[in-house]
Amino acid sequence: ERKVQALVDGKIPFYEPYMEELVADARENLKFTTSYAEAIPGAHVVFIAVGTPPGKNGSPDLRYLEAAARGIGEHIGDQFLVVVNKSTVPIGSGNWVGALVREAYEKKNGKKANGAFAVASNPEFLREGSAILDSLYPDRVVIGADQQRTSEVLYSLYRPILDQTFKAPSYMPRPEGLGAVPLISADLASAELIKYAANAFLALKISYINEIGQLAEKVGADIGQVAKGIGLDARIGTRFLQAGIGWGGSCFGKDTAALVATASEYGLDAQIVKAAREVNAHQRDRVVEKLLGELKILKGRTIGLLGLAFKPHTDDLREAPALDIARQLLDRGARVKVHDPVAMERFQKENAGLDVTCVATAEEVAADADAVVLVTEWPEYRELHWDKIKATMHNPVILDGRNLLNRTALTRAGFKVLGLAG
């Protein structure tokens, strides 16, 4: 209710570039409500976009999805309704949601739900921080449905995006050379699997480059050059080969865990995905190991963390590497100072349990610190006056967890620069 009220007041309850502008532009066509009775009857399409946070054994917690499905079922009107799973849901959920909607409908109306609705899967591929760009100009649209009639409804809904016939907003111009967007029209189970398989593959790519990064460090190779050198092979591609602390966020961790859990329900061992998860978890431990290697003792030391959000251009802290690293440092008796350009307010609200000091500027993070760790690759951290910062530090040690900074310049300025890859 708090979130919906914020939206009614024109405020966005999280940080996402240009979201406020988009919502303001669409004002006339948008209505926010917490009431199913207001939202569902008369709708042609209802998107379920509730959270599916990780539950026990890696399987997602589906109680919000269940509540939404029942709420929809109870309020379907006379109009044929397409219920779309936009949330990332385990394979088979389309059928399950269908059963819940049907049950709720039949209980409420005392008649069979035949033909009143159908369920479709329409997985989301947007990235936080570039959500609008990814939504308006996607690489592809995937629609999963078991009946042609259902896919047709969604096809006509997506048509302006598929054909790119909508007027591009001034703050998000259409990328040059963008043609028609490919549509994958699949069955429900395939669409559901596409989502997990895509996220797991991206996660594998990151863990792969981090594994190669460890080797690069040992042999004295430059991981940036290695990533470029392999990425320019069109079969591999340059994106998602940025080595560093690894992935965080609400998607890769949860979705790789869910894929492993689903595979195991079917008696399969998803070894490659499991290995990617292990490499990712180890990257965070390596930050602490590196600091320990350099400073020998962490007890009583002051460590500054630059960046809290799981990646730049968002204030999302879910599974953020910074939280894990801060916790490990605190456990070893260090004092921790933190800064983030946008996520600090949310951090203060959500992480009261973590005994760290929030400071207003990146410079303050470094003042009197024994080491600074760059955790999130906010572009402004690259522009800091590192030579001035060095003079204020107790110990000029910097661990560039994202390979963002100019290592040569920092070394020349007298810093001891640590990294996680060569």
Give the residue with the Cβ less far from ligand UGA, 71 or 123. 123
Residues 128/122, Cβ–Cβ less than 8 Å: no
What angle (nearest 5°) sits at the alpha carbon of residue 191, between those of residues 185 and 195? Answer: 130
Q: Report, in Å, the least distance between residue 26 CB and ligand UGA.
A: 21
Residues 286/420, Cβ–Cβ less than 8 Å: yes
Q: Report, in Å, the least distance between residue 128 CB and ligand UGA.
A: 4
Task: Report CA 64 to chain centroid distance, whole Å.
Answer: 19
Give the residue with the Cβ less far from ligand UGA, 316 or 370. 316
Active-site residue flag, 251: yes
Give the residue with the Cβ less far from ligand UGA, 279 or 393. 279
Which residues would be at the binding site for ligand UGA (CB under 6 A)? 88, 124-128, 199, 202, 206, 240-242, 244, 246-249, 251-252, 310-311
Choose, from 81, 82, 251, 365, the residue flagged as catalytic: 251
Give the residue with the Cβ less far from ligand UGA, 252 or 347. 252
Q: Report, in Å, the least distance between residue 306 CB and ligand UGA.
A: 14
- CA nearest to 291, candidates 168, 418, 173: 418
Give the residue with the Cβ less far from ligand UGA, 254 or 301. 254
Give the residue with the Cβ less far from ligand UGA, 124 or 370. 124
Q: Report, in Å, the least distance between residue 413 CB and ligand UGA.
A: 26
Residue 390: Cβ within 10 Å count: 15
What is the C-alpha separation between 195 and 89, in angstroms, rounded? 9
Give the residue with the Cβ less far from ligand UGA, 318 or 335. 318
> Dihedral, CA atoms, 49, 53, 56, 60, nearest 10 degrees?
30
Residues 131/250, Cβ–Cβ less than 8 Å: no
For residue 23, how many C-alpha atoms fall within 13 Å in the half-sphere facing its CB?
Answer: 17
Q: Report, in Å, the least distance between residue 9 CB and ligand UGA.
A: 26
Maximum distance among all Cα pairs of the chain, rounded to whole angstroms: 78
Q: Report, in Å, the least distance between residue 189 CB and ligand UGA.
A: 18
Q: Report, in Å, the least distance between residue 198 CB and ligand UGA.
A: 7
| Residues forming the active site | 251
